[in-house]
Amino acid sequence: SGTEIAFILDGSGSIEPEDFERAKAFIHKMMKTLYKKCFECNFAVVQYGFEIRTEFDLRENWDPQATLQKVVDIVQVCNVTRTASAMQHVLDSIFTESHGSSKDAAKVMVVLTDGEILLDERNLTAVINSPQMAGIERYAIGVGDAFKKPKALNELRLIASGPDDTNVFQVTNYSALDGLLSTLQQSIIGIEGVQGDALEYELAQAGFSVQVLDEKVLMFGAVGAFDWSGGILLYDLATKAAVFLNESKEEATQAKYSYLGYSVAVAHTARGPLYVAGAPRHSMRGKVLVFQDGHLKQSLPGEQVGSYFGSELCPLDVNHDGVTDLLLVGAPFFHIGGEEGRVYVYRLETETGSFTLEEHLHGQMTSPFARFGFAVASIGDINGDGYEDIAIGAPLEDQLAKSSSFGSIYIFNGDKDRKIKSSFSQRIKASDISSGLQYFGQSIAGGFDLTNDGLQDIAVGSLENVIVLRSKPVVHFLTSMRFNPERIHVFQNTSNLTAKLCFDRVSALPVAQQGLAQLYILYTVELDVKMPKSRVQFEDQNTTRSGKLLVSQHVCSELQLYTLVGDPCDFDCFNSVFLKVKHKLYKQNDNMEFALPVLDRYQPSEMHFQLPYKKNCNKTICTADLTLTTQIQKDLVVGHTKEVTMNVSLTNSGDDSYMTTMVLDYPKNLHFKKVTVEPSSPAVQCGQPTPLTSAVLSCSCRIGHPVFKKTTAKFAVIWQLDESIFQEKSVITINITNINENSTIVTEEHVLDVRYALTAVLTKPVSLMYVNVSEGLLENREFRFNVDGENPFNATLHLQIWVPIRIQGHTIITVKNVSGTQLLLGGQCPRQALSCFIAFQGVRDVQYQCVHCSIHTDGDNVTVTAELSLSNTHQFLKSRTVLLVPGKITFNRELYLGLKEENHNAEITLVFLKEEVIDPLPVIIGSCFGGLLLLALITVLLWKVGII
């Protein structure tokens, strides 16, 4: 952006040394004047002779004084006049982005020469007509009589741009160059003002924000420059030179009313300073611009529309090494429920010199319009830990609380690793200071000892008031406790120990000693705080004791402790006894000359110390080696099995196992009854089962507490089996644990095969049915089967009845109806049964029809009504006397077990009765023939005897 001016200085041998110095002085004066009047002018100088040399390019203008000195130090190269090559060099090596040029900047060449071109391999006309030359304003200054020649004058006119000689200047000698200064400066400034820049500084409001870099340089925020897009102004007090920095003209035009320069700051790096400026209205979200060496290095965009990101800047050197570590950026209007405010923390990376977002800070979120981050200030090391601290204002906090006072400031402390602690150490409210104090925290300044007590104080601005907050000395203590003996012996009946409690003051600031003569440490010691029942007590049988000690460099108190045996030890004699120590500062009276010291906010006021038990181990860590073996009856029949027994064998072949515990998870259908332990086994004690889920119970058993030594525990766990349906998968899980370090859980799992008992008896009222075959009539018969028993688990019983319907293809029986007394209550029996071809008791020529009934109750009576067709059956029934109608009960045997299997079958026998049929015709014929024969015989006999 701005204007880029390249001076092309003739250093050929035709120029006398004193004239060359006058040429340098001319360039020096012109640059110095333009530095003051043209804030966006950058310069480069190229000298040409037998070589073409860049004395400095556009990147080296960030320090005007150093740049002007480079002009003074130019050494003449002499020899030939290669003007065309020098101009091409400017196009190739000056007006390029790699050498600091901006594509949006106005570009100017000023050629200062004393004669026509000599021994130049380039053609001047070709260079002038090059596409690279487009848009570049050129000025030609000819010195001496050489330009009275037409050729030299034409070259001078060709060098200059424009249709006339407006940009051509001729002087007779180098001493007359000063007369061109005013005219040439006005021409160049006119170019700078072509786009209206001359008017864009009139409302700049330079000084809206100010940062003192050092004794020589000031940095001003100019929020009104460029139609309130803003910028920053670096002003050298010694040289009166000023450098204006902002975005490019194109970007600045698009970012009107950004207010760049609303806040300014300087970040110090190993590569030099970074100039940081906030633009809280940029892109509606706010932006922070970082400049280095006169160029924009980095932009940090805001996160939320309207948050006023960048309105407050605070660079922070956390570890006081002279290099900036963090940049804090305020966004006081950041809103969640209201304008709560937020402060962004950026880390300055040492390798790249760029900022990266690390975290954000906020106050308490109870006040929706606090505007946290309205003011942010570095306040020095107020807690004496060697790290820089900050204060952040929230001037509208509690304004809605209907209080006459509102506003707060928050103190955040520096931390190691060049960080800020994310939680505030102190919140100071306006109501804590004075009634009627309003907008407390709208401005903050710190890092000054205003009370002459050696401590950094804070000045806080509010409406019509400035409040000075005096810092309190911060005291750091190292709390320690030593025991004698160092461990508790488990199997001693009683044991007394000495606990030595000490406080060592390690305050970093000598001023923290102020007021310590009247200051006490009030402490409280609580014994065995992690156990429900204490295993240690004081001599008065209490487990809590308080006392006070006068503060000094090193102060101690001895406490007598007594360990207990019995129930507490049985509960746990492996885990260390934890002692909790709480302490605070206590003053004897209120008449103290100095501010009362306070404890470090980040130093814990509550400490825990461990008193361990003595352990019998081969190494530092007790490593038990537990082996678990279990046996259990896995086939359970609910309604038949009464008890379930699991035999357990647990062996420890390693170091002592402490607080060995067996946890049993089992279905709630199992009711824990007891544990039986073998006489030589360690004790096993089980507690009351507790619900683990709606279907699972859990029972914890202590094995050989407190110490399960190298031995084997053998015992049996006995449950009673409830006569109810299991809800889930039936699993018993055994977990063996201890509290040894690096211990692992020993686990076994048994999946139970659960079935449910039922009793079903199939009977028939009539075992034999007689059928008279000889009569050949149609008959209706009923085949009745009775199902009785107990079905408590509502098993589905299937009754199958096989009715013989055909013999040798001849139909003899037709099933007419199937009925039952209880089928309407949930059973079902189809009226039309399926045809079945079966072989039953060796009968292979009989076709049966199957009647299948499902029964869900304890019993039912099923009747099959059938029609017997006996006509014309004597031929195929002549060799058969009986037919069987069998019945059978079946069910899901994977889920249920029948207790009386022999009663699941029954059969009805059909007995066929047959009468012999005699034909009377042969008898009659025979009788007649016999009678006639007898009559003839009698007649013959009578004839022979003479009767006839």
pLDDT at 592: 55
Cβ neighbourhood burial of 698 (10 Å; 0-12, 13-18, 19+)? middle
pLDDT tens by residue, 548-574: 988 888 899 999 998 875 554 556 777
Strands 408-412 and 389-394: antiparallel
Whether domain 626-751 has CATH 2.60.40.1510: yes
CB-based contact 736:708 (threshold 8 Å): no
CA 535 to chain centroid: 40
CA distance 820 to 880: 31
CA distance 222 to 274: 17
Q: Which CATH class is domain 3-198?
A: alpha beta
Q: Burial letters for 418-432: b for 16+ Cβ neighbours within 10 Å, e otherwise? A: bbbbeebbeebbbbe
Q: What is the pTM of this model?
A: 0.53
Nearest to 855 by CA among 791, 779, 917, 899: 791
Structure-block tokens of residue 737: 């644990």
Edge-to-edge strand list for the sheet holding 137-143: 52-56, 41-48, 3-10, 106-113, 137-143, 168-171
The DSSP call for residue 104 is T
pLDDT at 473: 83
CB-based contact 537:526 (threshold 8 Å): no
Question: If you count them, how many residues does the chain have?
Answer: 948
- Name the strand (E) or helix (H) holding 928: helix 920-945
Answer whether 3-198 and 626-751 agree in fold. Answer: no
Torsions phi, psi for 659 (to 5 deg): 50, 50
pLDDT at 338: 86
pLDDT at 199: 45
Q: DSSP letters along 181-232, please?
A: HHHHHHHHHHHHTTTTGGGTTTT--EEEEEEE-SSSEEEEEETTHHHHTB-E
CA distance 193 to 371: 41
Q: Which residue has the tokens 């029934």?
A: 877
Q: Is the peptide bond before 163 cis (omega within 30 degrees of 0)?
A: no
Nearest to 885 by CA among 788, 771, 774, 760: 771
The terminus-to-terminus CA distance of the chain in angstroms comes to 182
The region that residue 510 occupies, defined by phi over 0 for left and psi between -120 and 50 for alpha, beta otherwise, is alpha
pLDDT at 841: 46
Nearest to 368 by CA among 330, 341, 392: 341
Report how far apart, in Å, the C-alpha atoms of 325 and of each of 269, 314, 864 are. 9, 11, 100
Q: Point out the residues of the chain with pLDDT beneath 70.
A: 1, 36-37, 39, 164, 186, 189-202, 248-254, 490-494, 507-517, 565-571, 588-594, 775-776, 822-844, 873-879, 915-920, 948
Nearest to 105 by CA among 301, 298, 294: 294
Beta bridge partners of residue 478, listed in sequence order: 504
Q: Specify the fold of 262-471.
A: Methylamine Dehydrogenase; Chain H (2.130.10)
Q: Domain spans of the chain?
A: 3-198, 262-471, 475-611, 626-751, 758-913, 920-948
475-611 has which CATH code? 2.60.40.1460
pLDDT at 493: 52
CB-based contact 662:778 (threshold 8 Å): no
Amino acid identity of residue 908, one-letter, is: I
Looking only at Cα atoms, what is the longest distance across the chain?
217
CB-based contact 726:754 (threshold 8 Å): yes
The DSSP call for residue 373 is T
Architecture, CATH, for domain 758-913: Sandwich (2.60)
CA distance 217 to 238: 8
Q: How many CB atoms lie within 10 A of CB 258?
A: 30
pLDDT at 832: 43
pLDDT tens by residue, 59-113: 888 788 889 999 999 999 988 889 999 999 999 999 999 998 988 888 999 999 9
